[in-house]
Structure 1
Amino acid sequence: MATSAIDENLTVYLKNYAPNDASAESDPVKASQLLFPSATYTEAEKVDIGQWTTTSSHIASTTEDAAKSSERLSSLNTHLSSRTTILGAKPSVADIALYQKLAPVVSKWSVEERTGEQGYHHIVRFVDFVQNSPVFGLKLDEKVTVDQDSVIFKIKPIDAKAEKERKKKEKEAAAASAAASGSATPSTLTGGKPAEAPEGAKGKKEKAKDKVQTAGDAIASTVAGKSGGPPEGAPTKKKEKKEKQPKPQKAAPVEKPLSPALIDLRVGHILKAIAHPNADSLYVSTIACGDAPGTDNTSEYEGQVVRTVCSGLNGLIPLEEMQNRKIVTVCNLKPVTMRGIKSSAMVLAASPRVKEGEDSHGGPVELVNPPAESKAGDRVYFEGWEGEPEAVLNPKKKVWEMIQPGFTTTDGLEVGFDVEAVPQLSGEGADKKTGVGKLKTAAGLCTVSSLKGATVR
């Protein structure tokens, strides 16, 4: 699939202000995937990224007249009225391309242009979101000043259901109007004779009249015994039924082979943690995991997209050690409700291996530490087991339960995956796999403080 190329100005902008070396890619889709590794795009979204990246170069262009420029801004404002990002909820390089062009323009707008009755409310909101959201992580020298309390005309939030109904009624009204105009002939409007219609351009009424006339002629010929119709009383031929064609069967989805890569491991940033109000052994943490706005099972906290996570660490790790720290999270387990609070991820921690019959929750317990330079949402994977994780692990297939026994710590206090602990993956004979693949991010290895040969879960 061909996409538009990123222009030189945007490449320089990405190099100066965007993370993840996105400027190394000239393809907007690849640059988006580099910028937002946890986001996945459909084919239609990939096309939109290319188109909007190209369109951004024309937004508020100084070479266009004021009317054309205003038309483009109005169209963009309408598009953003029901979207957080240009794609809806997923971030992409197209958002940064538009921000680059819009920021200097919006910074010069008057309050009336920003939030007046005819103002570009949604563009202003979009600019403010892109420049401040940790999802984009732009390191800007200057930002557009946006006073959220300075609003001249408060617009009503769009009700998606009502908007759909309104468009439906508009279509019905247009169809009714077209039908009404079709039934009013020139002669009824002007009192004169109807104009001659060009050949092949008969109106609906004339066509219907012709059909009635043809049917009448056929009936008359049958009754009078004219040639061309069956004789009176002759048996009529039954219409042959068409054979039903079997519907093509949908191809079964291709199942990915069992691998630690199926598990969506990411760097998480605990913004706050409290004791669970209904369970003495649980903490409730608010964790940024790099999700895009609008992702299922997320909410917003202090301007960041977060997940609520319950973990059985109360009494094992002091609450103060759970505050404002980086950890490793499992992000594609099916959410579970724990004593009335929905938990949408899991915090990885190490504990000593215990013998059968011993208390597996006795401790000590240590959280898995990602590299200090890593950021919330960074992909975490085992060396030698790279690949795309599942969106949500199917609980019936027990993928986590089969893979987790291989999670361990080494004598060097690194976290790794021991393939020999998972018989389904280790193989036999000459094909037998051995060794420990270390857990890492692009910034380095994941570690624990002191537990060697521990289990990690």
Structure 2
Amino acid sequence: MATAAAPASSLLSLLYRSYPHAVPPNSTDPELTSLTPKIFPAHAYTDAEKTEVQTWLATTSSLSEALKEGKDASEQLAAINTHLATRTTILGAKPSVADIATYALLAPVVEKWTPEERTGEKGYHHIARHVDFVQNAPLFALQIPAEERISIDADDVKVVPKPIAPPKDEKEKKKKEKKSTGQGGGDRNLVVGQGKKNNGKAPANNNDASIVDKVKDKVEGATAAVTGALTGDKASKKKEKKPKQQKQPAAPTAPLSPSLIDLRVGHILRAINHPNADSLYVSTIACGDAPGTEHTSQDEATGLTVRTVCSGLNGLVPLEEMQGRKIVAVCNLKPVTMRGIKSAAMVLAASPRDDDSHAGPVELVSPPADAPAGERVFFEGWSEGNPEKVLNPKKKIWETFQPGFTTTETLEVAFDSSAVPQLQKEGEASDAAPPPPKVGKLVTLSGGLCTVKSLKGATVR
């Protein structure tokens, strides 16, 4: 692959132009390791993150020397590409001077790559994506003239990269951590709410006793049969009739209510463009799930249990608005695979009611900023009952209630029960309890309101 090293002067020039408040023009040798908090004062950085920035600055310095000397840097580039495969920025979602240093070094390298070198089978997809993101994202606000920006066509993907699994040593590290904290039962990785096979054998638990009992019964039965044959006792050969088990009464059907829909506060850790669909974003969202919950994974950067969510918001909501923010997620729709990536939830957003063409505008539903990820969200007057684990597509629960999801004149998200004919019929058939309010506002369990920026009387889906 073509290589070229960006001189250190280009990084300094970029910092001077973009962040004069942090790097004055008369500064000849700024201390890069201390610049991140000065350049991005709106973000808080832990000691571990500061250390990671220092490590990456050293990495870019080493790579720069290798490129200058014309050495083979494919291993170093592959390591950077792998690191960025599951991150929007070097730190995950937060910006840092390490991103800018990486951009200054690799932008001229990427510029000389062919489309195959960028996004081919052995291409560095994630480095190309990172370069494009850093030079254009308002998150960094780099002052780069249009003619100096690297031209990258996000839709020109030769081969969709396969998901990159965590390194083996990292997996072993996680296993050791589970052992030391008493989780996972030694070498067995227990999953909340699920059983797990142990090399094809049943795990050593109470089931072992039941297996022994079954074997014992069979041995005793065989012994009795042999004894009966020898003594001529025909009665011993007859099988005893098992008493008929009475059918259990069917569980009562839950009453129709929007509370059947599992609405929660979600925290988008990061979002990227879908590698194979120009209308989709792929977001990593913490929804308060317990570790091991079905259709979740552990986020490598934060250690949180997260869901991968595809949403058709590309071109309607700026990518930077999808970073590090709170949203309301629908968490019990049946997971679907969207252009090769399984989506395990849905992000609620508002759009004009007559927008059948989905041309926008679109505004994300915002819970209170201090609401924790996973907090339950429901409509006032409709809090009774628990959400179903997974909505049965055949029952069309979501399709039944979504027409009532709307926004008010005061920009609050609400549920208008008059828009759901099935609720009117059910109300006529039962007079046992007073009917819920016609319009109930969407609130968190702690009482905070969920709102949108400006769309009144909109549909929410």
TM-score, structure 2 length as denominator?
0.49
TM-score (norm 1): 0.50
Q: Which has the larger radius of gyration?
A: 1
